[in-house]
Structure 1
């Protein structure tokens, strides 16, 4: 999303409590958006009325179950109405998270879930999910923060909603473990579990795909040269086409069994190749912690 002279960029943020909406709003504020948190639903139309003065480069508004007068059906009707406005470039962002992780976050922080009242936190989470999932289905963008760090979430927000018209395409290359699930935000996923696995070499097992010895072991697989040529060639071809079509954010994910060796090596390699091609690239290792 980029600012234009005739359309105001608007990010309408919603989602599950505890999923990361506050972090998302802060990230949008850092990008230059004017942010309004917990806006009563009845004020949404007035705030964005055509007669209103909008000096901001962009506006980010958080409306969720805490908002006074919130109703799922009314909210979606207002979203549909705003989407039809020629003066607004509106995107609905839904921040999601797995139920178990949400419960853990509330337990660790000792905060009360806004819908739990005097019931267990899991009851509040389940009730909110039932109310909000119709909104999730209508969202333009869904970010699942279950396995994301705060910094990863901020990077995703920056890639999805830039205000700089010259920002172009932001590419994220990610490594992940299939044991922990596919990254929902990925546009392209590559399974590299067929490559030689350093896990079975005792001296290499403690390392990661960033280590030269581990990288050399993976690259020595007879299948690697041809695979590498196909993947880097395809991505070198595709990324400029995504940019030409106006896509602002592209996530390329490489997965292996543990998300530590082969996928990390390939993410680093492809990230480097794309940077050499002049693309703006961020490399994220979702399931590996480096010393």
Structure 2
């Protein structure tokens, strides 16, 4: 069983997120989405059991998913039934975990003032502070029975994301960052979606070796030509040093996707070999990495066209195939 499979099996199938308005429920749902949960926001508590049953029915078709659901005071009168619904699900043998998000009153007031949004319990002209007190009284029982309580008073968003991942995912923090490393050729256009771009056109080009020209960076002769040179060895050491600095920073910031572009002239030789090497290095450091080659087909097609043109020229020079 792979580490990723073990990690998935250790994650709870059903998570109910509740807590104080303004304490970070939206940010929490983004984390669960990144962890692969099917997320439902503002679901009436009376529909929790039905949602679980529908999800279980799809299991026979291979469609069952992990669920994360937000139930909070926005549901109005429906919200009062949440404790009773949780008790009923427990009696029915439905396994779930509850996450309660909280924060100090003054921090909640400041967040609402900065967002200029109305507190859900301030519909009758009451102040934000009064709405918060109503909500605290309403949620008292849920907070006491919650499996996890996170106080977000002094938390930045990235810290909240890290805390939730630590509670609900047994994998390393680095596994939460999906990294795509891809090669490209500058002559086919600079990349638009890369967070990091490394230009390796300063390295010796296998294209000028007639034996290596039709090959790619996936072939051992080209790979050895590129990576065994003294200048490439020095470059890779410095490149890895840079990655060792920036990658943990992206993880700490809670970044979920990162694209690294490695470019050479045509996207066939140097960039391909070094994109593969970069992917291998990041995998060895515990990151979740995929490697792609944006322009490899264009480069190969270009060589096919050149070979066809060479054949035509040879035929013309010899007066045709039958000459």
**Under a length normalisation based on structure 1, what TM-score does the superposition of the two structures give?**
0.52
Write the distance in 2 (CA, Å) between the matches of 1:75 and 1:119: 24
**3-state SS of paired residue (2:139):** helix
What is the distance in 1 between the residues matched to 2:44 and 2:7? 26
Determine the C-alpha separation between the residues in 2 that align with 1:10 and 1:82.
Answer: 11
| 2:89 match | 82
Cα distance in 1 for residues equivalent to 2:73 and 2:14: 20
Q: CA deviation at 1:159?
A: 0.8
The root-mean-square deviation of aligned C-alpha atoms, in Å, is: 2.7
Q: Deviations over 1:55-90 (max 9, x none)?
A: 244110001111264243x2112112323454x441
Pick one of 152, 166, 172 that aligns with 2:159: 152
2:99 to 93, 110, 129: 93
The answer as to 2:54 corresponding to 1:47 is: no
Give the secondary-structure state (helix, strand or coil) at the position aligned to 2:97. Answer: strand
Q: 1:35 aligned to 2:28?
A: no
**SS in structure 2 at match of 1:83:** helix
Alpha-carbon separation, structure 2, partners of 1:27 and 1:155 = 9
Match of 2:207 in 1: none
Shift of the 80–3 alpha-carbon distance from structure 1 to 2, 3 Å rule, reads: farther
Decide which structure has greater helix share: 2
Q: Distance in 1 between matches of 2:117 and 2:74?
A: 14
Q: Find the aligned partners of 2:95 and 2:173 in 1 and give their Cα distance.
A: 18
Compare CA radii of gyration and give the structure with the larger one.
2
Counterpart CA distance in 1 for 2:8 and 2:96 is: 11
Give 1:115 shift: 0.3
Task: Report what 1:143 is aligned to.
Answer: 150
Query: Could you tell me how far apart the structure 2 residues matched to 1:138 and 1:112 are?
Result: 28
Judge conservation of contact 2:162–2:173 (CA < 8 Å) in 1: no
Change (3 A) 1:141 1:19: same
Per-residue CA deviation, residues 195-248 of structure 1 (Å, 9 max, x unaligned), is xxxxxxxxxxxxxxxxxxxxxxxxxxxxxxxxxxxxxxxxxxxxxxxxxxxxxx
Provide the residue aligned with 2:121 in structure 1.
115
CA–CA distance in 2 between the matches of 1:24 and 1:169? 16
Partner of 1:134: 141
Q: Secondary structure at the match of 2:21?
A: coil
The unaligned stretches of length 5 or more in structure 1 are 171-279, 281-291
Q: Could you tell me how far apart the structure 2 residues matched to 1:4 and 1:84 are?
A: 23
Q: Take 1:12 and 1:89, find their aligned partners in 2: how far apart are those partners?
A: 11
Does structure 1 residue 58 correspond to structure 2 residue 66?
yes
Is the aligned partner of 1:24 residue 2:28? yes
Unmatched runs of 5 consecutive residues or more in structure 2: 1-5, 175-285, 287-323
User: Structure 1 residues 85 and 9 mapped into 2: Cα distance closer, same or farther (>3 Å)?
Assistant: farther
SS in 2 for 1:113: coil
Give the SS at the match of 2:118: coil
Alignment: residue pair count:
165
Q: Distance in 2 between matches of 1:82 and 1:11?
A: 13
CA contact under 8 A between 2:18 and 2:70: conserved in structure 1? yes
Which string of whole-angstrom CA distances, capped at 9 and with x for unpartnered residues, describes residues 10-30 of structure 1?
110000100000000111101
Tell me: CA distance 1:32–1:158, structure 2 relative to 1, closer, same or farther (3 Å). Answer: same
User: Residue 218 of structure 2 corresponds to which residue in structure 1?
Assistant: none
Counterpart of 2:74 in 1: which secondary structure? coil
Partner of 1:274: none
- 1:13 paired with 2:10, answer no
